[in-house]
C-alpha cells in the first residue's frame, strides 16, 4: 500500500535502518559491558594488571564506525536527494507563515486557510514568513522545512492517499505556537477543480493591516476580540481604558495620540491586567505616515 506521499517509503526505510543499527550496537555494547564486569571482577583479579595496547583493535574500532557512517550517509542522502528536485509539472502554492496561522495562496490569486491538494499531482510549496522563524511540517508526508523571514524556501511532494492530514509548526514562535496548526486535505482531481473554482479571489488588504502584519503586531493583538498577549484591536479605537502611568492608575481614551504613543513608547501607559516590557518600541521602524494608516485601519475594527 502506498504511503501518504511519495517520500514515505524512502524516509521510513532510512529510519528503520538507523534504528536497527542503533539497537544492534546497544545490545552489543551492553553485552560487552556485562561480560567485562563478570570476567574482570575484583574478586577474580584482586591485583590490577596493566593491559597492553593493541594497534589491531584500535584500527578495527576506527575503521568499522567510519564504514558505518559512510554507509548511513549514502542511504540518507539517497532518500533526501529526491526532495530537492521539483518536477516541472508541479502545481505551485505559496505558503505564508505568521504568528500564529498558515495561509495558502493559489493562482488567481485565491487564498485559503487550509491546504487542499489533488491526488497524485506533484505540488511545490513556496514557503515565506512575515515575522519570525516557523517550521512547516506534514508528518504523514515525511516532509519538513524551515520558514525563515527574508529567505525563500520550498518543499515538494506528491500526495498519494485521499484524506486529511495535520500540519504543524515545528519551531517555537511565541506564546500561541501550539495553536499554529491546520490541515492538508487530499481530494480527487475533480473535487479539487470544483473547490478551487468556488474559492473566492483574495481581496486587497487595507494598508494598515499589511503594516500590522509586517511588524508582527497581530501576533500579540487579535483582530477578532480574543485575548492574546495584549489587548485586542477589535473595538479598541475610541474605547476608554484603565492604564497604569508611572505607577498610577488613570482612565485614558484610545485616540490617535494614545496609539502613536503606544507604538513608540509602549511602556508609558500600560492597560491594567497586562505587563510591562513585552512590546518593543517601533521608533525608527514604523514611519509617521504608516502610523496614520494603522490608525485609519483600527477605526474600522468595530
Q: What are 58-71's pLDDT values in tens digits?
A: 899 899 999 999 99
- Cα 31 from Cα 228, distance rounded (Å): 54
Please state the φ and ψ torsions of residue 136, each to the nearest 5 degrees. Answer: -95, 115
- Of the candidates 82, 81, 77, 86, which has an alpha carbon nearest to the alpha carbon of residue 153? 86
Checking if the pLDDT of 109 tops 80, the result is yes
Rounded to the nearest angstrom, the gap between the alpha carbon of residue 265 and the centroid of all alpha carbons in its chain is 31
Region of residue 106 (left: phi > 0; alpha: psi -120 to 50; beta: else): beta
What torsion do the CA atoms of 267, 270, 274, 278 make, to the nearest 10 degrees?
-10
Rounded to the nearest angstrom, the gap between the alpha carbon of residue 228 and the centroid of all alpha carbons in its chain is 19
- Cα 296 from Cα 208, distance rounded (Å): 7
Cell of 246: 508611572
Q: What are 212-270's pLDDT values in tens digits?
A: 877 778 778 888 887 777 888 889 888 898 888 888 888 989 899 989 999 999 888 88
Specify the 3-state DSSP secondary structure of 266. Answer: coil
Cell of 40: 574482570
Contact 64, 73 (CB under 8 A): no
Q: What is the DSSP letter of 222?
A: -
- Cα 225 from Cα 237, distance rounded (Å): 13
Quickly list DSSP for 144-173.
Answer: EEEE-TT--EEEEE-B-S-EEEEEEE-S--
What torsion do the CA atoms of 156, 161, 162, 163 make, to the nearest 10 degrees?
-80
Over range 151-167, report the average pLDDT: 94
pTM above 0.75, yes or no: no
Over range 123-127, report the average pLDDT: 96
Least confident stretch, 10-19, 129-138, 174-183: 174-183
Least confident stretch, 91-95, 135-139, 242-246: 242-246
HSE, CB side, 13 Å, CA atoms: give it for residue 81: 6
94 DSSP β-pair partners: 105, 126
- Cα 127 from Cα 151, distance rounded (Å): 9
pLDDT band with cut points at 50, 70 and 90 for residue 148: very high
CA distances from 93 to 90, 115, 155, 179 (A): 10, 9, 10, 22
Amino acid at each position: 500500500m502506498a504511503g501518504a506521499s511519495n517520500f514515505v517509503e524512502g524516509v521510513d526505510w532510512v529510519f528503520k535502518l538507523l534504528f536497527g543499527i542503533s539497537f544492534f550496537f546497544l545490545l552489543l555494547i551492553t553485552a560487552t559491558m556485562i561480560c567485562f564486569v563478570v570476567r574482570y571482577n575484583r574478586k577474580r583479579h584482586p591485583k590490577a594488571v596493566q593491559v597492553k595496547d593493541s594497534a589491531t583493535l584500535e584500527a578495527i574500532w576506527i575503521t568499522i564506525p567510519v564504514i558505518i557512517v559512510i554507509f548511513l550517509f549514502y542511504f540518507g542522502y539517497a532518500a533526501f536527494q529526491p526532495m530537492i528536485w521539483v518536477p516541472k509539472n508541479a502545481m505551485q502554492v505559496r505558503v505564508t507563515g505568521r504568528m500564529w496561522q498558515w495561509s495558502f495562496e493559489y493562482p488567481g490569486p485565491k487564498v485559503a486557510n487550509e491546504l487542499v491538494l489533488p491526488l497524485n499531482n506533484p505540488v511545490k510549496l513556496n514557503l515565506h514568513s512575515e515575522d519570525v522563524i516557523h517550521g512547516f511540517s506534514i508528518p504523514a508526508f515525511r516532509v519538513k522545512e524551515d520558514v525563515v523571514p527574508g529567505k525563500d524556501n520550498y518543499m515538494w511532494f506528491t500526495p498519494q492517499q485521499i484524506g486529511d492530514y495535520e500540519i504543524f509548526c515545528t519551531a517555537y514562535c511565541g506564546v500561541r505556537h501550539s495553536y499554529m496548526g491546520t490541515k492538508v486535505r487530499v481530494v480527487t482531481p475533480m473535487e479539487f477543480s470544483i473547490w478551487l473554482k468556488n474559492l473566492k479571489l483574495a481581496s486587497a488588504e487595507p494598508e494598515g493591516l499589511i503594516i500590522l502584519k509586517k511588524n508582527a503586531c497581530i501576533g500579540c493583538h487579535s483582530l477578532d476580540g480574543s485575548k492574546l498577549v495584549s489587548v485586542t484591536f477589535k473595538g479598541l479605537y475610541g474605547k476608554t481604558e484603565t492604564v497604569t502611568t508611572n505607577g498610577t492608575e488613570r482612565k485614558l481614551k484610545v485616540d490617535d495620540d494614545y496609539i502613536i504613543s503606544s507604538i513608540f513608547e509602549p511602556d508609558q501607559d500600560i492597560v491594567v491586567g497586562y505587563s510591562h516590557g513585552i512590546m518593543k518600541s517601533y521608533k525608527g521602524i514604523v514611519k509617521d505616515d504608516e502610523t496614520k494608516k494603522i490608525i485609519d485601519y483600527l477605526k474600522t475594527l468595530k
